Amino acid sequence: AFKRWEKQNGVEPRLPGIHLTHDQLFFLNYAQIWCGSMRPEDALSKVRSSVHSPGPIRVLGPLSNSYDFANAYKCSPGSRMNPLKKCSVW
């Protein structure tokens, strides 16, 4: 959706003082949605009772399997955030 929007509207200028590309900012915003902190005992209780994955898993899982993320951040092939074997849905 982001790339489609860029094609239709053109690439916006970079934000002054921010040394990240638009692609990097897109992924950073995605990750920030799931940021949070909780006490270890609360985290364990949530993992045991919730049907949803904890925030860090919701970020690390999809992004480490994303070619676009790896390209945006120039992650080394075989690194934690750019494994050689990826899980692809589409």
Tell me, what's the pLDDT at 89? 75
pLDDT tens readout for residues 23-58:
999 999 999 998 888 888 988 888 899 898 888 889
Residue 78 resides in a domain: yes
Average pLDDT for 10-32: 93
Residue 65 resides in a domain: yes
Q: Give the predicted TM-score (pTM) of the model.
A: 0.81
Residue 79 resides in a domain: yes
| Cβ-Cβ contacts under 8 Å for 30 (sequence gap 6 or more) | 59, 63
d(CA 74, CA 76): 6
> Comparing 50-59, 67-76, 79-88, which segment has the lowest mean pLDDT?
50-59
Reference 58, options 78, 77, 32; nearest CA is 32
Residue 7 resides in a domain: no
User: Per the structure, how many domains does the chain have?
Assistant: 1
- Residue range of the domain that includes 71: 20-90
Residue 4 resides in a domain: no
Q: What are phi and psi of 2, to 5 degrees?
A: -65, -45
- What are the angstrom distances between the C-alpha of 6 and each of 13, 23, 56, 61, 70? 12, 11, 28, 26, 19
